[in-house]
Structure 1
Amino acid sequence: MKIKVFFLMLLSTFFLQAKAFQKEISDPVSPFPVRGFHLDLRIQAIPMPALKKLALQLVKGGINTLVMEWEGTYPFQEEPLIANRFAYTRDEVKAFIAYCGTINLDVIPLQQSFGHVEYILRNPKYKDLREDQKDYSQVNPIREAEAKKLFITLYKDLISTHHSPYIHIGGDETYLLGHSEESKKKIKAVGIGRLYGDYIKMLCDVVVGLGKRPVLWADIALKYPEALKGLPKETIFIDWNYGWDINMFGDHQKLMQSGFEIWGAPSIRSHPDNYFLSQWAKHFKNITDFVPMAKELGYKGIVMTSWSTSGLYSPVFETTRDIIDLYAIRRVYPISGFNMLIAAFLESIKTAKPLDADIFINSYAQLQYGLSKNDARKFWKAISTVPYEITQGKPINTELSIDQMLDSTRNALSILGKLKPVKNVTEFEHYRLMAAIRVQYLSYQSIESRANAAGMTAEQLKPLITELEALHTKELDKKFIALNSAVMYPAEMAQENELRNGKIQVLLQRLKRLR
């Protein structure tokens, strides 16, 4: 009897080991211990049910880290002026962090602490921390004592709700270095790299003193490698690269030789993406190229960034120094429209082998939407057509005219309209809406170009009024609300529609006086 029991136990152990081995073969271990996704809530706050749904989607795909750029949506207790009208309650934040804990998702708070802090510095309470009194985006690094007091308060608050071993302190795109007279003096004495590095060291030391590891973007340290000196060994740099040369910001080898832990970061939404343009092919190539590169470089983590805006704001001044409001310079389509790119990233980080984008896209279209092979090819051709931006009325990086781009985009919209998805139809509708918005935008650009042609008379301008009125803004606004009501608040969607249609309405009102 004892022999029989022993044999059964041995057999059971064998099958369990075989099952585990089989799982290891079919589900390879990613080379990145930290597999992250960055969520930017600066202008597109997401209601909690949708936020939890996205978190679960990411975990099921292999993500174990969420970098939350809460910005004004986080409800700081001791600094209540920082929160905006879409801020979550503290109970909501705590419940979300607790939920993420149940699905093994580490939530790293991203608290910008140098540049990109206009949402803090816009308040007169913090005016003495500004590097420039006409651009509220950056802290004056000479004001270390005042800044240290503020950010210790903010970091402690974040630590009280988050359980991650990390705090992301930002540190990127500090365009205003040396604007203040105080900063100019320090630059003259020790150089701009030390101006940046000394302030960053203070922040990193604060984070380490609070028992956490500081994480920051690597662009400025790459530009000024002397800034790396003296930073605590716990510091982690994120090398963000959206398709450019590895030495774009500076000598990459110096970062590699610094001894600090490094993570990489591609993107699914970045410049020049906006409501009217999503450069699908560019982001697929970024995933295909950079994820394997990050593995080869020995990066310990990979974080997919997803920017809702550029982080640059256009101020509305009340006086020469007082700002009424700040408008995001670039706004993009909500994250609800980018499941395919998210899925591509999740697939790529499983092994970090180069992703075959064509095979992935065709497979995704067939499996996710039930399209045939032929229709999958049509789908990709339609959403990736003429991916060029327009600046000052001129297409960039193409010989095509605006009207030629418009014809191609209308054809793409027609193709998408004829395709018949049999699964995940709502997700597919986002592509159609994005194409329709681009047709509307290019139609406007064509009208604007003709309106600005040399020698246009009042009589020649009048017919353009009818064209502007026919751009169907209300129809697209309704569709935008219908498709994004789960991932945005009603007031956000109303604002997005208004801003997206802003140029159309301005030109229309100007021309209507000619009737």
Structure 2
Amino acid sequence: MESLTLGSHRLVHLDFKGAPPKVTYLEQLFPLFREWGATGILIEWEDTFPYVRDLISIGSKGPLSQSGAYTVEEARLLLHLAGDAGLAVVPLVQTFGHLEFVLKHKEWVSLREVAAYPSSMCPSHPGALKLVTSLIKQIVEFHPDIQYIHIGADEVWHLGICPTCIRRIETSKHGKAQLFLEHILGVAQFVRDTYPTLRVIMWDDMLRSIDSSVMNEYNLGKFVEPMVWHYLPAEAFQLSADMWERYASVFNTLWVATAFKGATGSSQNLPVIQHHISNHEQWLTVLSQIVNKFPNFRGVALTGWSRYDHYAIMCELLATSLPSLAVCLRIWMSGTYSSDIHTTVAKALGYYDTPLFLNPYPRPQPVPQQLSFPGWKVRVGVEWFMNLRVKYRNIVDSEQVETWLNPWQIQHGLTNPMQIESLIPAFTDLMFELTSLESYLRAHLEDILHTATVDEWIGTNVEPLKVRLRQLKKDAEAQMPMRIPMQSFPDVI
């Protein structure tokens, strides 16, 4: 197994649509990735790429960009730094589904499969292939000496819905499968004709329901290399033996994709390392059983999703997930997981006085005071936040608040000062700690992320807590002067 994993690519997936790091931060990370065993990076630029000409509005120069990164100079420097670190670069360009970053723009709304949804492109629209080829041309021309391009094509949620696509399905031999394959082959054929030495990778999930005879009829194996992704732990691993047999009859090459973050919850703040350990262990087991079916095993991409889609909030930040990545790469390099691997990685990252926990729950957990990997202070800040959020919920969502400070009682002034008096100091202390946490996190997030991303993370995670707490404190304080003084009540005999 070691000869298999060591003799193939190990790509670290960087999902820039979620939280694009500053180039100065990536400069610290790239040599570390290489040291940990990575051979390359799979870059999902989305709207952080500096598109020009007809695509300028969808990239980092466009008015609707979520992040504002990267400038042309920064993007070139990023690629140069990767090369200096000995990391191959594989760009990922979505060409079918997950195209919100394009289809949200008024210029391309007409390309949507469903008018109200910006997720999937209509493969029957005459402008579809033109858009995709424009995206690919700008990406390829910007990336010197690349061997591979990833065209995405996963999770095309809306396929065969518009009237034109329905007619094509009804009059075609293979229905939706044909609709999907014809678009993919159009994209792949363009790459082959324009860039003959470039190999095309695609996600495999949309192929899982297509019969191998249909894929062979379209010669799919001559045009694309599938990257089979699966992020679940061993007990829930669900790739069937039949799928592998079908793929082996179509493709000579195989990639797989694991996950080191971004696969255990759309609002997760810290990776569940135990989940990702199990995922990697199971992948190694599966590969040992099926890899001989494929003449060429290209390697693995360790995916690190930053958002579940373009409009989702951010999940785990890259800086908080480096311990998970380090563990997963070591597992892949070793072909197994052991307590020795955990100890070795933990010490290398600076976990001496505080353990590197494999599960961030239950909270609270001890927060490290000093670690030794780039961005560790962000990890510490998020650990602090998760502990504080538990304290916050224990007070704000407590039975005491529900019983004596609910909206109806506040509206009618029917509150008990004895209960409220004890809540006000708790609210005050919570607000003070939240404010201190925000200051700490903002300072250290700004070191590695652009301001817009920092504002979003704070606005998504910290600000809602402060807003509710501020209102509860205001309501509680407003109730106190409304109480009738005790001496106004007649003596009770």
Q: Report the TM-score when normalising by structure 2.
A: 0.79
Per the alignment, residue 216 of structure 1 pairs with 202
- Over 3 Å counting, the alpha-carbon distance change for 1:221 and 1:132 in structure 2 is same
CA distance in 2 between counterparts of 1:301 and 1:492 reads 32
Taking a change above 3 Å as real, the CA distance of residues 277 and 108 of structure 1, as seen in their structure-2 partners, is closer
The answer to whether the Cα contact below 8 Å between 1:336 and 1:484 also exists between their aligned partners in 2 is no
Distance 1:506 1:92 in 2: 36
CA contact (8 A) 1:369 1:428 kept: no
Residues 1:53 and 2:28 are matched in the alignment = yes
Q: What secondary structure is seen at the aligned counterpart in 2 of 1:337?
A: helix
CA contact (8 A) 2:20 2:449 kept: yes
Question: What SS does the corresponding residue of 1:304 show, helix, strand or coil?
Answer: strand
Q: Deviations over 1:56-79 (max 9, x none)?
A: 222223322211101111111221
Q: What does residue 303 of structure 1 align with?
A: 301
Q: Secondary structure of 1:139's partner?
A: coil
- For 1:440, give the aligned amino acid: L
> Identity percentage over the alignment?
20
Q: How far 1:86 sits from its partner (Å)?
A: 1.8
Q: Output the CA distance in 1 between the equivalents of 2:182 and 2:39.
A: 32
2:45 to 70, 73, 77: 70
Task: Write the letter of the residue equivalent to 1:247.
Answer: L
Instruction: Confirm or deny that 1:154 pairs with 2:141.
Output: no
In the other structure, the counterpart of 1:478 is 439
State yes or no: 1:108 paired with 2:90. Answer: yes
Letter in 2 for 1:237: P
CA-to-aligned-CA distance 1:278-335 (integer Å, 9 cap, x gap): 312111221222234335432321110001111152xxxxxxxxxxxxxx2x412321
Q: Is the 8 A contact 2:23 2:77 kept in 1?
A: no
Report the equivalent of 2:222.
233
Kept after mapping to 2: 8 A contact 1:222/1:251 = yes
Deviation at residue 242 of structure 1 after TM alignment: 0.8
Report the CA distance between 1:121 and its aligned residue: 0.9
Cα deviation, 1:134-189, whole Å, max 9, x if unaligned, reads: 2111111211x311111212211111111212111111111122332323333344
Would you say the 8 A contact 2:113–2:121 is kept in 1?
yes
Q: Would the alpha carbon gap of residues 455 and 488 (structure 1) be closer, same or farther in structure 2, given more than 3 Å must change?
A: closer
2:383 match: secondary structure: helix
Shift of the alpha carbon at 1:125?
A: 0.6
Equivalent residue pairs, number: 438
Alignment match of 2:349 (pick from 361, 365, 368)? 368
Query: 1:107: how far off?
Result: 0.9
The verdict on how the C-alpha distance between 1:77 and 1:257 changes in structure 2, with shifts beyond 3 A counting, is same
Q: Which runs of 5+ in 2 are unaligned?
A: 60-64, 292-296, 479-493
The equivalent residue for 1:183 is 165
Alignment partner, residue 487 of structure 2: none
The RMSD of aligned alpha carbons is 3.1
> What is the TM-score when the length of structure 1 is the normalising length?
0.76
Deviation at 1:29, TM superposition (A): 7.8
Paired residue secondary structure (2:464)? helix
Select between 154-163 and 56-65 the one with higher mean Cα deviation.
Answer: 56-65
Query: Which of 247, 254, 264 is the equivalent residue of 1:272?
Result: 264
- 2:381 counterpart (433, 442, 449): 433
Q: Distance in 2 between matches of 1:88 and 1:426?
A: 21
Using the alignment, how far apart are the partners of 1:218 and 1:29 within structure 2? 21
Work out whether residues 291 and 348 of structure 1, in 8 Å CA contact, stay in contact via their aligned partners in 2: no
In structure 2, do the counterparts of structure 1 residues 454 and 71 end up closer, same or farther at CA, with 3 Å as the change threshold? Answer: farther
Q: Structure 1: which 5+ residue stretches go unaligned?
A: 1-26, 314-327, 387-407
The alpha-carbon distance between structure 1 residues 490 and 142, as it changes in their structure 2 partners (threshold 3 A), is same
C-alpha distance in 1, partners of 2:318/2:227? Answer: 22
Question: Shift of residue 91 of structure 1?
Answer: 2.8
Counterpart among 280, 287, 297 of residue 294 in structure 1? 287
For residues 425 and 265 of structure 1, the distance between their equivalents in structure 2, rounded to whole angstroms, comes to 25
Instruction: Compute the displacement of 1:510 (Å).
Output: 6.1
Residue in structure 2 matched with residue 247 of structure 1 by the alignment: 239
In the TM superposition, what whole-angstrom CA distance separates every residue of 1:358-393 from its partner, at most 9, and x where no partner exists?
33222323343262xxx56xx145x6253xxxxxxx
Indicate yes or no: 2:447 matched with 1:493.
Answer: no
Taking the aligned partners of 1:301 and 1:279, their CA distance within structure 2 comes to: 24
Q: Distance in 2 between matches of 1:364 and 1:130?
A: 46
C-alpha distance in 2 between matches for 1:220 and 1:184: 18
- Structure 1 CA distance, aligned partners of 2:151 and 2:438? 37
How far does residue 248 in structure 1 lie from its aligned partner after superposition? 7.2
